[in-house]
Structure formats: C-alpha cells, structure tokens
C-alpha cells in the first residue's frame, strides 16, 4: 500500500485513514475477496488524492482543516435499548411512506425497520445484510450503479462503508420509503460512511425520503454516498432533511445516471451541522431525460452549507433545473457552486440555474458560482444568482398594520422559503420539509 501522505499543495491529511489496516478487520464483508480488493483500491485512491483543500476548485469555499485535525474513532458505544426508546419517542414515521428503515450510528436497526414486501416489485436490503447473505446480488447491483471516480471522500466511503441499503426496483414497480439516520451520543468522535444504492427498472416509480438527525449535541462525521441508476422512463423523487447535530460534519455525495425519458427530482432542506456539503452529480444519458435539483438552507452562528451541483447533458432534448434558496444570519456561510455541461450532441437542451440568498446579518457570507459550459448550438440555458436583505417597503407595510418587527421579519422569511417548497411534487415530502422550515423559523422567534 502506498504512503497515506497527501500530494503536496492539493490536499490535507486525515489522521484516522492511516489506521485502515487495523479498522478493516471489523468491517462487514471482510470475507469477500472482491469487496476487500475494492476497499484496498479505494483507500489507495484516497491516499493519492488526500482530503480536498481550498486549492481544489470544487472546494475553494470550504476549509476542511478542522476536520483533518480531528481524530475519528469507530462507531459510538451506548445503551442500545435506551437509544431505540428515544428514537421511537422523538421521530414519528412519515405517514405516507409505507416502509421505513432506521439507522442508528450508521448501522441498520432491524428491530425498528420494516421489511419490504417482495410482491411490491422492490427488493430492499441492508448493505451489511447483503454482504453477509447475498454477496452475488450485491456485487451485481453495485456494478450497475454509477462509478465513483475522482472524489476523495467517495473513495473513503468505499473503503469504510459498513452499512446502508440496497434498493432494486423491477420494471413498473412502485416504492415509498423513508430512511431515518440517527446519531446518538457515545464514546469518542465517530465517523460514519453509509452507502445507499438504488437501481430503478424501466417505468418504475419511487419516493425516497431521508432524515438525518441526532439525539442531542454530539460531535461526529457523516460521509454518506448515494448512487442511483434510472432505466428508461423511471422516476425517482428523492428528498432529504439534513438536521444533524450542531457539532457535526456531513459531506454527502449523490450520483445519478438517467436513461431516456427518466426523471430525477432531488430537494434538500439543510438546517443542522457545523458544516454540511451536498454534492450532486447527474448524467442525462438518454434523450428526453430530466432532473430537478432544489434546496433550502437556513443557517445561524458559524454554520456553513456548501451546495455543489454538476449536470451533464449528454443526450438531446434533456431538461435540468437547479434552484436553491438560503437564509443566513450572524456569521453563517452559504455556498452555491453549480455547473451545467451541454455536450456537442445534446441539441435542444434546456438547463436553468438560480441561486437566491437572504442575508439577515452584515457578517454573513454567500458565495455563488453558477456556470454553463455549452458545446451545442440549439439550446436554451440560463443562470443567475441574487443576494439581498429583507425588503424595507414590505417591512414598513407590515409594521404599519400593527405587526411587530420580529413577527414581520418572520412572515417575510417564511414567504421567501415556503414559495420555494412548491418545487417539491410529493405532498408528504412537502409537508415534512415544510415542517422543518417552520420549526427553524420558530426557533428564530423564540
């Protein structure tokens, strides 16, 4: 194995990666030669790339030096029965989702999770369960999802992934599933690397809701990777609430590959964590494919949320939308980096990018970098970014009608955010995400 020292000038060290040989013996699937080989290749790739520094263009607005200095451990140890009781008491199942999987400190808890009925045309397995009981299926499934080339943190996930879920939909199948990830306080400062892998057959339909939450203020690092493959005409609606612990880091990558006429919708609401990165890459590989990427982030204190998007129009008649809104207070930092590539053969592409940020403090920072790279000549593409404060005239209008200043501010912020939730086409998800927005606004007014 090569040295785990990073290449100079491009990256920074991550101490616990040096202990890979010691940790790997405790990882599920250690008896599978193909998986062990893949993990070794992944850690070697991470060793070559290193943890991204701000000299890497895609990370220019994010400083990971504090993450690099943290000595991470294995999974936190705690009272499992007490944690399960808290999960049941605090996090109700989303009613419209037929099934739910619950992960505690990165590992699937089968006692709190539902078993998906195979007659629905969907097969859903925990990743560790698949490693232990159906390795051939897992190997074939992972080979069919988008490759994770080039990303250092994705390589780290591939090396250390212990659990997650594998979702396979047959043609014309339908699935409604909630994934609840709960971090519980315990020993050490743990790092979790869950993997979600989705393969949707032709004309299948899926609604996937993710919630990332914590039982109290605990320090940890969540580094999830989601790989999605959509066959012709498949439609996946994918929603995520990121409400991690105030002391937590989350670095999430989603890669999706779409065949002709497939549709992918992704919407993320971010309110938690000291640092969160939502990295989404979508390849529109078949004619008529489309994706809608949206998100809202509400930040206070010194929180940072980094949204980095990349959409590749590789086929004709494809449509993409990227629309993000943020509200930043105190010394919060928001980032919107979005690139749309239109390849030479992708005629009649339609790609739109928009970032809007509402600044509640002069000390808050918003970096926006929308970008178009176009090689076709028959396209309809645009990008834009706006940053502003609350409108004085609207504030005056509300105050003149007897509304106090704090309530007036809350109404204007709510209008700014709630309008954006109309992008969420699934009613249940819209209610779940809207509830998180309302809870955050209530915290501001308290």
Q: 420 with 432: CB under 8 angstroms?
A: no
How many angstroms separate the CA atoms of 446 and 442, rounded?
A: 6
Q: 40 with 2: CB under 8 angstroms?
A: no
Closest by alpha carbon to 434, among 409, 406, 408, 415? 415
Contacts with 424 (C-beta within 8 Å, 6 or more apart), sequence order: 239, 265, 267, 294, 430, 433
How high is the pLDDT of residue 220?
A: 94
Angle (CA) 274 279 282, round 5°: 165
How many angstroms separate the CA atoms of 349 and 208, rounded?
A: 27
How high is the pLDDT of residue 1?
A: 30
How high is the pLDDT of residue 2?
A: 32
Tokens for 286, please give them. 């078949």
Closest by alpha carbon to 52, among 14, 11, 8? 11
Output b/e per residue, 266-304; b: 16+ Cβ within 10 A.
Answer: bbbbbbbbbbbbbbbbbbbbbbbbbbbbbbbbbbbeebb
Tell me the three state secondary structure of residue 352.
Answer: strand
Tens of pLDDT, residue by residue over 138-165, are 998 888 788 877 789 999 999 999 999 9
How high is the pLDDT of residue 21?
A: 67
Cα-based distances in Å from 387 to 321, 329, 357, 374: 19, 13, 5, 26
Torsion sign, CA atoms 79, 83, 84, 89: positive
Per-residue pLDDT of the chain in tens (446 residues, 90 and over written 9): 333 333 333 445 566 666 666 677 778 998 899 999 999 898 888 888 888 889 888 999 999 989 888 888 777 777 888 999 999 999 987 666 789 999 999 999 999 999 999 889 999 999 999 999 999 999 988 887 888 777 899 999 999 999 999 999 999 999 999 999 999 988 888 899 999 999 999 999 999 999 999 999 999 999 999 999 999 999 999 999 999 999 999 999 999 999 999 999 999 999 999 999 999 999 999 999 999 999 999 999 999 999 999 999 999 999 999 999 999 999 999 999 999 999 999 999 999 999 999 999 999 999 999 999 999 999 999 999 999 998 888 888 888 888 888 888 888 998 999 888 988 999 999 999 999 999 998 887 65
Tens of pLDDT, residue by residue over 69-112, are 888 877 777 788 899 999 999 998 766 678 999 999 999 999 99
How many angstroms separate the CA atoms of 307 and 368, rounded?
A: 10
Contacts with 148 (C-beta within 8 Å, 6 or more apart), sequence order: 154, 155, 157, 158, 225, 227, 253, 255
Q: What is the dihedral of CA 382, 387, 392, 397, to 10 degrees?
A: 50
How many C-beta atoms lie closer than 10 Å to residue 25's C-beta? 7
Counting other chains too, the contacts that 57-62 makes at CB distance below 8 Å and 24 or more residues apart are: 58/308, 58/337, 61/306, 61/333, 61/335, 61/337, 61/367, 62/275, 62/277, 62/304, 62/306, 62/335
Tell me the three state secondary structure of residue 140.
Answer: helix
Tokens for 139, please give them. 């190997």
């Amino acid at each position: 194995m090569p040295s785990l020292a990073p290449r100079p000038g491009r990256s920074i060290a991550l101490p616990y990666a040096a202990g890979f040989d010691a940790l790997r013996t405790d990882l599920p699937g250690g008896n599978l030669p193909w998986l062990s080989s893949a993990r070794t290749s992944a850690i070697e790739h991470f060793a070559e790339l290193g943890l991204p520094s701000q000299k890497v263009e895609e990370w220019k607005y994010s400083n990971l030096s504090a993450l690099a200095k943290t000595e991470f451990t294995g999974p936190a140890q705690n009272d499992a029965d007490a944690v399960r009781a808290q999960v049941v008491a605090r996090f109700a199942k989303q009613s419209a989702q037929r099934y739910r999987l619950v992960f505690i400190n990165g590992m699937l808890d089968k006692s709190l999770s539902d078993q998906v009925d195979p007659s629905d045309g969907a097969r859903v397995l925990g990743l560790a369960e698949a490693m232990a009981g159906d390795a051939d299926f897992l190997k074939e499934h992972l080979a069919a999802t988008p490759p994770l080339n080039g990303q250092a943190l994705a390589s780290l996930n591939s090396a250390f992934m212990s659990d997650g879920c594998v979702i396979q939909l047959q043609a014309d199948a339908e699935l409604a599933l909630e994934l609840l990830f709960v971090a519980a306080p315990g020993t050490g400062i743990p790092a979790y690397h869950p993997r979600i892998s989705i393969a949707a057959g032709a004309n299948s339909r899926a609604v996937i809701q993710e919630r990332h939450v914590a039982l109290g203020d605990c320090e940890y690092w969540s580094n999830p990777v989601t790989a999605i493959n959509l066959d012709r005409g498949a439609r996946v609606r994918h929603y995520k609430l990121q409400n991690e612990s105030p002391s937590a880091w989350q670095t999430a990558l989603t890669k999706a590959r779409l065949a002709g006429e497939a549709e992918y919708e992704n919407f993320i609401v971010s309110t938690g964590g000291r640092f969160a990165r939502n990295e989404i890459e979508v390849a529109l590989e078949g004619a008529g494919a489309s994706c809608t990427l949206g998100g809202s982030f509400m930040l206070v204190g010194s929180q940072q949320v980094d949204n980095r998007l990349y959409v590749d129009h590789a086929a004709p008649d494809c449509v993409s939308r990227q629309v993000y809104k943020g509200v930043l207070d105190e010394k919060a930092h928001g980032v919107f980096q979005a690139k749309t590539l239109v390849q030479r053969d992708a005629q009649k592409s339609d790609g739109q990018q928009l970032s809007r940020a509402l600044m509640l403090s002069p000390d808050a920072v918003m970096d926006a970098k929308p970008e178009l790279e176009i090689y076709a000549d028959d396209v309809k593409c645009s990008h834009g970014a706006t940053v502003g404060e609350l409108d004085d005239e609207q504030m005056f209008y509300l105050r003149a009608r007897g509304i106090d200043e704090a309530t007036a501010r809350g109404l204007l912020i709510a209008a700014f955010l709630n309008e954006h939730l109309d992008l969420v086409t699934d009613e249940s998800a819209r209610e779940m995400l809207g509830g998180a927005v309302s809870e955050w606004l209530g915290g501001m007014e308290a």
